[in-house]
Amino acid sequence: MPALSELEDAYERYVLENEDGFVDEFRERLRDFGGRPTPLQRADGLSERYGREVYLKREDLVHGGAHKLNNALGQVLLATYMGKERIIAETGAGQHGTATAMACAHLDMPCEVYMGRTDVNRQRPNVFRMRINGAEVNPVDVGRGTLKEAISETMRDWSRTVERTHYVIGSVVGPHPFPAMVRDFQAVISEEAREQVIEKTGGLPDAVVACAGGGSNTMGSFAEFVPDEDVALHAVEAGGSSLDVDEEAGVAPNSASLSTGAEGVLHGARTKLLQDSHGQIMESHSVSAGLDYAGVGPELAHLVETGRVTPATVDDEAALEAFHRLSTAEGIIPALESAHALAYLEAADERGVDLGETVVVTVSGRGDKDLETVIEETEKRGLESAPDMRVFEGGLR
Amino acid sequence: MSERIDAAFADGPAFVPYLAAGDPDYEASLAYVEALDRGGADVIELGLPFSEPIAEGPTIQGAVVRALDAGMTPERFFEFVADLDVEAPLVCMTYYNLIYQYWGSADRSEARAANASGETASEEGPRPFVERAAEVGLEGFVVPDLPAEEAAPLREACDEFGLDLIFIVAPTTRGERLQRIMDRVSGYVYVQARLGTTGARDDVSDQTGASLERLREWDVPKAVGFGIKTGEHAERIVAAGADGIIVGSALVDIVAEGHEEGRPVEETATRLEALARELAAGAERGARRRGEDAPEPEQP
């Protein structure tokens, strides 16, 4: 708690009031190191397919390949302003860990990243990227060895070392001020998108669509549009293989906490959670490791509760199809997280949801990290929309 | 407020052991808790296992996983408390979500349906949990992930049923936060001997004396925990001014070892009782040393 009070104070002074020019330095580094602003691109193939103007906010083009850098850079920079000497973080799919490792190398801060053993094994390219940027990667063996165990382990480290360490939380989750601060660092996505869409179309979009796991990309994509009440905001969650839960086994075969979760308290926030009837947190699932989390940001849960944001789910298979569709139709290989948002363009039409004439969809990251999963899952499901990967056998060896 | 907890601290230093209820299974766990009672426990902290025990180190996390795997639930926990045959007052240590959700656990499917259809399900907060706890004879709660700032509903329910709400004070807790905790705490205050999570260590932190000094004016007993595992540790902590010692991981280690090595329940229970006696005796020695070391009262 004292660490949170200290952080809240720093957040108010540096981030909200720009003390010592923090915000100016953050913006400059986002531009020069991070490669911002990212383009808002009209997707010609998708626009034709859906009979509406589809614009892609290209966060896959941020340095490191995902929106995660916006927040990691902001927090590591803030830690230097606070006089902290060491950074810790947790990571699931590895994107946040990679972004934090990059930001730490850039700002010359020692960095340790906790990652579940299961995730270490299934996200090896990101483990290498973290190590190459000089970060220590600590595998977590307890429990199922995924994101929620890594979060608990990082909190333990922080509770021992708060005086000199800052914990870079990777999403709009956890105790105050993290959800607000991470939203502010990610709000650059909607700030740019709003200006760009007005410039390109002369007005606001009818809808903004973003995928939702913990919710940092979602809140970043929505933040500046929230006051624009005519702009519909759609948060697309991972429906996994099913929306049903297995109470006995403590498993939800999805990560749809906004759509199916109940209100509860976890990791210092009251929000929507996947939990059993006793309040024990359930194991979640998604084909996208980056969406595989049992909770969601409290502000996003609130926006859903008050009706400002509409939650929706698409399942693993629809996300895989959307992954291939964008790759072949537009030449952009999206992260599996982003593929959920893209799949909603198709799903909305099927479900009779009218997204209007102009839609902005955030491509939250690029899909290089997901290629092995996609090839394996595509073969397993025999998806007809996908290219046949077998033609490369022999040719590549 | 619980008179039984007051009484436990009134008569010399209190020995407060912790075990996770249901570790490694229901029956064995009953025997283990009763062994601590025979060994001289003044108050017993019983863990109600939560799936994400973020304040615990690996030892207690292991206990939590074993207990959950063996089927421990909040309702089963209340049955466990009712089945125990112990003298010492019992305090429930758990995480807030289990307390907060208890109202809906019977009709969660209805709540979920109401949620899905956009209606707001009725919300009773922590009161039903506290009511049930009082019914089975629990005397108080420790909730490591509930900050004093958010504790009003639980505090109110505890007041209604005469239960204590114990808060943890970390070495870094200062100023207004300390005051806020003082305003809301009852029973005893759990003084964290060092930063970090629970876990037995080989040394006793010298932060303890400084931590106790900051709380000197509080008229609530100060029990020190985190890292105590021998009678000698207990002695030093009490000699440094603690009104009680809280010991968890060192006891859970005995349970874990017994489970892993397949020892008979009685043997593990005997070991627990022996360590309990050692710790309680250490605390007594510490209290005597404090008496001896204390300066003579000044003459008026």
The model's pLDDT over B46-90, given as tens digits with 9 standing for 90+, comes to: 999 999 888 888 889 899 999 999 999 999 999 999 999 999 999
Q: Which of A68, A84, A272, A369 is catalytic?
A: A68
The upper half-sphere exposure of residue A389, i.e. CA atoms within 13 Å in the direction of its Cβ, equals 15
The C-alpha atoms of residue A121 and residue A113 are separated, in whole angstroms, by 15
Looking at the complex, report in whole angstroms how far the Cα of residue B100 sits from the nearest Cα belonging to chain A.
Answer: 7
Looking at the complex, report in whole angstroms how far the Cα of residue A386 sits from the nearest Cα belonging to chain B.
Answer: 34
| Interchain proximity A266–B97, CB inside 8 Å | yes
Sheet with A232-240, edge to edge strand ranges: A40-42, A53-58, A358-363, A207-212, A232-240, A309-315
Mutate which: A5, A153, A265, vs B, most B CBs within 10 A = A265
Give me the mean pLDDT over the A364-368 stretch: 95
Q: Label the pairing between strands A207-212 and A232-240.
A: parallel
Quick one: pLDDT at residue A397? 41
Looking at the complex, report in whole angstroms how far the Cα of residue A207 sits from the nearest Cα belonging to chain B.
Answer: 22
Q: Which of B3, B27, B34, B45 is catalytic?
A: B45
pLDDT score of B108 more than 70: no
The C-alpha atoms of residue B187 and residue A35 are separated, in whole angstroms, by 57
Identify which of B81-90, B95-104, B203-212 has the greatest average pLDDT.
B81-90
Give me the mean pLDDT over the A176-204 stretch: 98
Q: Are A119 and A146 in contact (CB under 8 A)?
A: yes
Assign B117 a pLDDT band (cuts: 50, 70, 90): low
Give me the mean pLDDT over the A158-173 stretch: 93
Q: What are phi and psi of B118, to 5 degrees?
A: 90, -5
Question: Angle between the B58-69 and B249-260 helix axes, to the nearest 10 degrees?
Answer: 50
Give me the mean pLDDT over the A94-110 stretch: 97
The C-alpha atoms of residue A98 and residue A69 are separated, in whole angstroms, by 9
Q: Which of A85-99, A122-136, B280-294 has the lowest mean pLDDT?
A: B280-294
Structure tokens that stand for A240 in this block = 């996994």
Give me the mean pLDDT over the A330-335 stretch: 97
Residue with tokens 């000699």: B239
Assign B295 a pLDDT band (cuts: 50, 70, 90): low
Q: What are phi and psi of B9, to 5 degrees?
A: -95, -15
The type of residue at B172 is T
Instruction: Name the more confident of A308 and B118.
Output: A308
Q: Which of A78-82, A248-252, A293-297 has the lowest mean pLDDT?
A: A248-252
Assign B298 a pLDDT band (cuts: 50, 70, 90): very low
Question: Which of B6, B16, B10 has the alpha carbon at shortest distance from B224?
Answer: B16
Looking at the complex, report in whole angstroms how far the Cα of residue B172 sits from the nearest Cα belonging to chain A.
Answer: 6
Assign B205 a pLDDT band (cuts: 50, 70, 90): low
The C-alpha atoms of residue B80 and residue B134 are separated, in whole angstroms, by 14
| Interchain proximity A250–B51, CB inside 8 Å | yes
ω before B300 within 30° of 0 (cis)? no
The C-alpha atoms of residue B166 and residue B222 are separated, in whole angstroms, by 10
The C-alpha atoms of residue B108 and residue A260 are separated, in whole angstroms, by 12
| Interchain proximity A278–B57, CB inside 8 Å | no
Quick one: pLDDT at residue B119? 52
Quick one: pLDDT at residue B121? 47
Query: pLDDT > 70: what percent of chain B?
Result: 86
B207 touches A at CB < 8 Å: no
* B82: exposed, middle or buried (Cβ count in 10 Å: 0-12, 13-18, 19+): exposed
Structure tokens that stand for A174 in this block = 């956890």
Looking at the complex, report in whole angstroms how far the Cα of residue B258 sits from the nearest Cα belonging to chain A.
Answer: 20
Structure tokens that stand for A201 in this block = 């179309």
pLDDT tens by residue, A221-279: 999 999 999 999 999 999 999 998 888 788 889 999 999 999 999 988 999 999 999 99
Assign B294 a pLDDT band (cuts: 50, 70, 90): low
Q: Which of A60-69, A367-376, B70-79, B105-114 has the lowest mean pLDDT?
A: B105-114
Quick one: pLDDT at residue B63? 95
Give me the mean pLDDT over the B212-240 stretch: 91
B130 touches A at CB < 8 Å: no
pTM of the model: 0.91
Give me the mean pLDDT over the B24-35 stretch: 98
| Interchain proximity B61–A1, CB inside 8 Å | no
What is the interface pTM, i.e. ipTM, of the complex? Answer: 0.89
pLDDT tens by residue, A68-78: 999 999 999 99
pLDDT score of A218 more than 50: yes
The C-alpha atoms of residue A263 and residue B233 are separated, in whole angstroms, by 42
Assign B195 a pLDDT band (cuts: 50, 70, 90): low
Question: Angle between the A336-350 and A316-330 helix axes, to the nearest 10 degrees?
Answer: 100
Q: Which of B34, B56, B235, B273 is catalytic?
A: B56
ω before A177 within 30° of 0 (cis)? yes
CA A145 centroid distance within chain: 20
Instruction: Name the 3-class secondary structure at A314.
Output: strand
pLDDT score of A160 more than 90: no
Of the candidates A148, A161, A262, the beta carbon closest to that of B115 is on: A262
Instruction: Name the 3-class secondary structure at A198.
Output: helix
Residue with tokens 């105050």: A176
Q: Label the pairing between strands A262-266 and A269-273.
A: antiparallel
Based on its alpha-carbon atoms, the radius of gyration of chain B, rounded to whole angstroms, reads 19
Active site residue B45: yes
Q: Are A76 and A168 in contact (CB under 8 A)?
A: yes
Q: Which of residues 141-180 of B touch A (CB under 8 A)?
A: 145, 147, 170, 172-174, 177
Q: Which of A3-17, A179-193, A308-322, B45-59 has the lowest mean pLDDT?
A: B45-59
Assign B170 a pLDDT band (cuts: 50, 70, 90): confident
Beta-carbon contacts of residue A321 (< 8 Å; ≥ 6 apart)? A343, A346, A383, A385, A386
Active site residue A247: no
Mutate which: B48, B54, B177, vs A, most A CBs within 10 A = B54
In chain A, where does DSSP find H-type helix?
A: 2-10, 22-32, 44-50, 68-81, 95-107, 117-122, 124-132, 147-161, 178-186, 188-201, 216-222, 257-260, 298-305, 316-330, 336-350, 371-381
Instruction: Name the more confident of A2 and B49.
Output: B49
Beta bridge partners of B47: B20, B93
Beta-carbon contacts of residue A58 (< 8 Å; ≥ 6 apart)? A38, A39, A40, A41, A332, A363
The C-alpha atoms of residue B272 and residue B262 are separated, in whole angstroms, by 16
Instruction: Name the more confident of A348 and A283.
Output: A348
pLDDT score of B300 more than 50: no
Beta-carbon contacts of residue A283 (< 8 Å; ≥ 6 apart)? A144, A250, A251, A252, A294
Cα–Cα distances in Å, from A311 out to A93, A352, B229?
A: 23, 15, 50
Count of pairs with CB atoms under 8 A, one residue in A, one in B: 91
Query: pLDDT > 90: what percent of chain A?
Result: 80
Give me the mean pLDDT over the B35-56 stretch: 95
Quick one: pLDDT at residue B201? 53
Average pLDDT, chain A: 93
